A and B are shown apart, each in its own frame.
Chain A
């Protein structure tokens, strides 16, 4: 149970380079804005090609059914229809997608369209292409599919029962993956405990961040070369290509991914490969470009959801003073009909095993199962959010049961800032953070000192006031080696990102990124970094919008996901720019007849530090290398076109012990929420809200704060109304924005923010990735509701989503949830 500061054998250090303070750390105007505010953004559906056909997918109306036959003849007869695609063709023309899991999950056969069987309601079964969107929609209705319905499985807890329907016969089981994690000595912790709190069941629900722009692509196929160009909004094309190329039986380079502007993604545009492959096959078959834009209903039913996780038989040994000694839990993760990016979610939570706390003894029994629901994807907060919600619930329930102050319990158990870098029980290293300070600031934002008085005052108005805290971590920059823990056969580890920076013939600085921004302002922040290194302004730096694999500015893990741009993307930009700067100095030195160390880059020139009159403007440097290079020294190795691959310092984890550093940085957030509940109706209002964020040094504070706002809105939406529930037939009950209520402007509480900057010792600029947020709003609201209802029999909040109906149930029958919590004194 001792505290640990990390002293790894090979210390993680980052070389200091001289970077002049300048634009990094300031709020420069966003480059993206000019086109976006004028409606000149180029989103997938905005792109046109001559002769293109529009795709409409025919989807299964059954959650589980054998596909007996598909007849497309009537659809083909409709004038304006160009062609169709069915699962049979897909099974012949492609190989199943690469599965990440070990057996039995590895046996799952996943294709671009349903093959032989439909496994969730809305699964694409066939595709129709026509001259207009409307005709494609009409033709889809004429496709006749004969189904043989099968029993439906929508309960993850039932998935392992012997009489449960099995989704994938080849696997023979609904279990995608299972494993045990055991760190420290949980049995010793039990023995040492004064009390053991047991909780029967906690449930983290299914929802998603529903980006406003739906998925889509426009695919062209060039017969001469077999080259596909996919203009689409895939947010992780490096991995998309790894799935698609083998399936299509082509080399990776035959898939060119292009994107320009993307209207939000939040992890839901990572597993688009099935749809993209269908469109690739159609483009090749029909010899014309094909365009697909997902409908909102399709996105809810048949794109992706966040992981749904049920926590059972939780045990938390504690000392009477509230020191938490460890926890044990069985987790069942519901990944829907096909794993795809899963089972990575089965390990990714381990980046934050103890949450913000100094738990040293943790035992987790983790099982992931398939059900007849939409597949899941790394939705904002991916797998860590679910786990952090668990840890926050445990802290609040412990405090509740022991009648301790949740603020005090947190402070007693938080990892302390002087313990950073802190090694967790499973070998992850929290780089920096001051959770107690963030908590203090959050409490200040909501004027915590006045809570008692406000509680009384609210009570006089018939309202129950509650206050809740949500602490969370946003771990960023993955070590993909964690995938080896779920499957030792996998050959993925480390991480990377790429950037190129060149100085063109007229002195233009042009940057290409490997990332795929969806609103995070990468063009802007990249230009700040480049400007500071080259001694110019962000206006002098042109960053190409979007992503294009033809730029050769990408690698296997390229994309925008997992809260890492400030580390990986910026790391790549910095590396490429420093190379360029070095070359510029070398070239200038050769021309000016001095040493490169005598040359400085400032005000758009390369000049001698001691004699600024001896200067070459950037344009001159660019012109010399590109068009006027006679007479240069033969050994001058300068191209002024520099590419850099950022690689974080990771080791492969210890697969046996499931141990190792899984993420480079840990941003943190602490939120405080004040809620007033109408005791008669269960309707509640968030009357005060504070969010404190620490992502190390902030490259662009306004962008960071914007991410905090957005993550809070997503979390509060998920905590109050957003759910993807299924009925027993496997029908999704919230398949559009009418039923799936997201926060609108009037739904948002008064949101106050503050920040702390504890620089990361492991990164350039001391910045940490951030953006996902970690779902602190969910944790805080659950805590606030539980606190408010204490006087009414002390019901326990066991669900992550608490709409008014549910709050009323808690009020009506507090015993129902209390029954699942027991405290044993030892």
Chain B
């Protein structure tokens, strides 16, 4: 078994298959942003604390700045670009807008995916569970108040 400096990876992102050669050292977030040109996933820090880079990785919310692109070979990734379907916003996206849960929008993609991960696994979250679900997503604009409300509204079935 040999270690390699670069590798061809095959990754399914938002239902589409991508094959690219990538350096072993390239972070998954830069692969998504620079190689796949999906710039909705953002970089906000360099210590894995802010969560702006959050994607769903084989169904799990992860911070893509702490994964190497080469690790993602064979995985299914969902980014914010995959949330809206056929021009229809996902209920979370609609709720975020209705409840003013975004101001500058920089944390929003990661926040939406953490929220989606929560609601995929828990249909009736309490307020504390909602806050726990987005604990890994820093927002400097909203104070989280409206973000929590938006997610709760979707959980209550108030948003189509």
Asked if A and B are interacting partners, one says yes
Task: Mark out the residues of chain B between 72 and 130 whose CB falls within 8 Å of any chain A CB in the assembled complex.
Answer: 79-81, 83-84, 89, 93-94, 96-98, 100, 102-109, 112, 128, 130
Q: Which residues of A contact B155 (CB under 8 A)?
A: none
Stretch of A99-107, A262-270, A651-659 that contacts chain B = A262-270
Interface string of A705-717 (1 = CB under 8 A from B): 1100110111000
Q: Are B49 and A737 in contact (CB under 8 A)?
A: yes
A297→B34 CA distance, assembly (Å): 21
8 Å CB interface, B109-160 against A: 109, 112, 128, 130-132, 134-148
Q: Is the CB of A296 within 8 A of B47?
A: yes
Given A134-B26, A737-B50, decide whether A263 and B42 contact each other with a Cβ distance below 8 A. yes
Q: Given A40-B40, A212-B107, A263-B105, do A710 and B140 touch, yes or no (CB 8 Å)?
A: yes
Min distance, Cβ A316 to any Cβ of chain B, angstroms: 33
Asked if residues A211 and B140 are in contact (CB atoms below 8 Å), the reply is yes
Asked if B104 contacts A713 (CB within 8 A), the reply is no
- The verdict on A754 contacting chain B, using a C-beta distance below 8 Å, is no
Task: Judge whether A212 and B139 touch: CB under 8 Å.
Answer: yes
User: Counting chain A CB atoms within 10 Å of each CB, which of B40, B52, B80 scores highest?
Assistant: B40
Asked if B7 is at the interface of the complex by the 8 Å CB criterion, the answer is no
- In the bound complex, CA of A264 to CA of B47 (Å): 19
Which residue of chain A lies nearest to B46 when distances are taken between CB atoms in the complex? A296
- Is B102 touching A33 in the complex (CB atoms < 8 A)? yes
Residues of chain A contacted by B80 (CB below 8 angstroms): 37-39
Interface size class of B (residues with CB under 8 A): 35 or more
**Can you list, as one digit per residue, whether each of A737-752 has a CB less than 8 Å from chain B (1) or not (0)?**
1100011111010010
A520 interface residue (CB < 8 Å to B)? yes
Nearest to A297 among chain B residues (CB) is B46
Chain A hits for B97, CB < 8 A = 29-30, 33-34, 37
Kindly list chain A residues whose C-beta atoms are within 8 Å of the C-beta of B40: 38-41
Q: In the complex the two chains form, what is the Cα distance from A643 to B110 in whole Å?
A: 39
- Are A746 and B98 in contact, CB atoms less than 8 angstroms apart? no
- Closest residue to A37 on the B side, CB-wise? B93
For A714, what are the chain B residues with a Cβ–Cβ distance below 8 Å? 140
* A710 near B141: Cβ-Cβ < 8 Å: yes
- A37-B105, A213-B104, A745-B134 given; A713·B84 CB < 8 A: no
User: Could you tell me the distance between the alpha carbons of A339 and B47 in the complex, rounded to whole angstroms?
Assistant: 30
Contact B142–A266 (Cβ < 8 Å): no
The complex places the Cα of A714 from the Cα of B105 at a distance, in Å, of 17
A46 CB contact (under 8 Å) in B39, B79, B147? B39
Output the least CB separation between B138 and chain A (Å). 6
Query: Are B103 and A520 in contact, CB atoms less than 8 angstroms apart?
Result: yes
The reply to whether A212 and B138 form a contact with Cβ atoms under 8 Å apart is yes
A43: chain B residues at CB < 8 Å are: 39, 42, 106
Could you tell me if B106 and A212 are in contact, using CB atoms closer than 8 angstroms? yes
Q: Whole-angstrom distance from the CB of B55 to the nearest CB of chain A?
A: 11
Q: Are B141 and A264 in contact (CB under 8 A)?
A: yes
Contact of B28 with A by CB under 8 A: no
Rounded to whole angstroms, the CA-CA distance of A712 and B97 in the bound complex is 21
Known: A38-B81, A706-B100. A745 touches B144 (CB 8 A): yes
Cβ–Cβ < 8 Å partners of B89 in chain A: 34, 37-38
Known interface pairs A43-B42, A737-B138; A264-B104 also in contact (CB < 8 Å): yes
Cβ-closest chain B residue relative to A34:
B97
The answer to whether the Cβ of B64 comes within 8 Å of any Cβ in the partner chain is: no
Which of B84, B105, B109, B135 has most chain A Cβ within 10 Å? Answer: B105
* Nearest A residue to B106, CB-CB: A263
CB neighbours of B137 from chain A (8 A): 744-745
A80 at the interface (CB under 8 A from B): no
The answer to whether A212 touches B103, judged by C-beta atoms less than 8 angstroms apart, is: no
- Whether, in the assembled complex, B43 has its beta carbon less than 8 Å from a beta carbon of chain A, the answer is yes
Q: Closest A-chain residue to B144, C-beta based?
A: A745
Known interface pairs A212-B139, A703-B100. Does A134 touch B44 (Cβ–Cβ under 8 Å)?
Answer: no
Instruction: Provide the residues of chain A in CB contact with B42, threshold 8 Å.
Output: 43, 45, 212-213, 263
A19 at the interface (CB under 8 A from B): no
Q: In the assembled complex, how far is the CB of residue A28 from the closest CB belonging to chain B, in whole angstroms? A: 11
Bound together, the chains give a CA A133 to CA B25 distance in angstroms of 12
Q: Which secondary structure dominates chain B's binding surface?
A: loop
Residue of B47, B93, B98 near A738 (CB, 8 A) is B47
Q: Is A295 an interface residue (CB 8 A)?
A: yes
Cβ of A742: which chain B residues have Cβ within 8 Å of it? 138, 140
Among residues of B, the one whose C-beta sits closest to the C-beta of A42 is B39
Q: Verify if A518 is at the interface (C-beta below 8 Å from B).
A: yes
In the complex, residue of chain A having the shortest beta-carbon distance to the beta carbon of B94: A37
A295 proximity list for chain B (CB < 8 A): 46
Q: Are B108 and A745 in contact (CB under 8 A)?
A: no
Q: How far is the CA of A293 from the CA of B44 in the complex (A)?
A: 11
Asked if A38 and B83 sit within 8 Å, CB to CB, the answer is yes
A100 to B42, CA, bound (A): 36
- Is A472 an interface residue when CB atoms closer than 8 A count as contact? no
Tell me the complex Cα distance, A228–B145, Å. Answer: 41
Query: A30 touches which one: B45, B100, B128 (CB < 8 A)?
Result: B100
Contact (Cβ within 8 A) A736 B47: yes
CB distance from B153 to the nearest CB of A (A): 14
Residues of A within 8 A of B103 (CB): 264, 519-521, 706, 710
A296 to B43, CA, bound (A): 9
**CA of A744 to CA of B114 in the docked complex: distance in angstroms?**
14
Contact B105 A748 (CB under 8 A): no
Residue A36, interface by CB 8 Å = yes
| A140 → chain B closest CB, angstroms | 15
A261 beta carbon closer than 8 Å to chain B: yes
B131 near A746 (CB under 8 angstroms)? yes
Contacting residues of chain A (1-59) with chain B, CB-CB under 8 angstroms: 27, 29-30, 32-41, 43, 45-46, 48
Residue A495 is within 8 A (CB to CB) of chain B in the complex: no
B23 and A134 form a contact (CB under 8 A): yes
Task: Give Cα A712 to B52, complex, Å.
Answer: 21
The residue on B at minimum CB distance from A296 is B45
The answer to whether A36 and B47 touch across the interface, beta carbons within 8 angstroms, is: no
In whole angstroms, how far apart are the Cα atoms of A45 and B29 in the complex?
13
CB distance from A14 to the nearest CB of B (A): 29
Looking across the interface, which residue of chain B has its beta carbon closest to that of A293?
B43
CB nearest to A132 among chain B residues: B34
Whether A214 pairs with B49 at a CB distance below 8 angstroms is: no
Taking the closest CB of chain B, its distance from the CB of A134, in whole angstroms, is 6
Q: Are B41 and A39 in contact (CB under 8 A)?
A: yes
Complex Cα spacing A736 to B26, Å:
21
- In angstroms, Cα B103 to Cα A520, docked, is 6
Q: Please tell me which one of the listed residues A210, A262, A296, A744 contacts residue B104 in the complex, with CB atoms under 8 A apart.
A: A262
Q: Nearest CB to that of B43 among chain A residues?
A: A45
Instruction: Given the known inter-chain contacts A134-B26, A709-B145, please indicate yes or no for A261 contacting B44, CB distance below 8 A.
Output: no
| B25 pairs with A134, CB closer than 8 A | yes
| B105 touches which of A36, A737, A738, A746 (Cβ 8 Å) | A36
A209 at the A/B interface (Cβ < 8 Å)? yes
- Contact B132 A746, beta carbon cutoff 8 Å: yes
| Interface bits A106-140 vs B (CB < 8 Å: 1, else 0) | 00000000000000000000000000011000000
Task: Judge whether B140 and A37 touch: CB under 8 Å.
Answer: no
Q: Does A39 lie within 8 Å of B49, measured CB to CB?
A: no
> Can you list 30 contacts pairing A with B, beta carbon distance less than 8 Å?
A33-B97, A34-B97, A36-B102, A37-B102, A38-B83, A39-B108, A39-B109, A40-B40, A41-B40, A41-B105, A43-B42, A133-B30, A133-B34, A211-B104, A211-B106, A212-B104, A212-B139, A213-B104, A293-B43, A518-B104, A519-B105, A520-B103, A706-B141, A706-B146, A710-B141, A710-B142, A737-B47, A745-B137, A745-B148, A746-B132
Q: Which 6 A-B pairs have the closest CB atoms?
A: A39-B40, A263-B106, A36-B105, A519-B104, A519-B103, A713-B143
Binding site for B on A (CB under 8 A): 27, 29-30, 32-41, 43, 45-46, 48, 133-134, 209-214, 261-264, 266, 293, 295-297, 518-521, 702-703, 705-706, 709-710, 712-714, 736-738, 742-746, 748, 751
Known A39-B109, A519-B141; further 18 A-B contacts with Cβ < 8 A: A34-B89, A37-B93, A38-B40, A38-B84, A39-B40, A45-B43, A48-B37, A133-B30, A134-B25, A212-B106, A261-B105, A263-B107, A296-B46, A297-B46, A706-B103, A712-B143, A714-B140, A743-B143
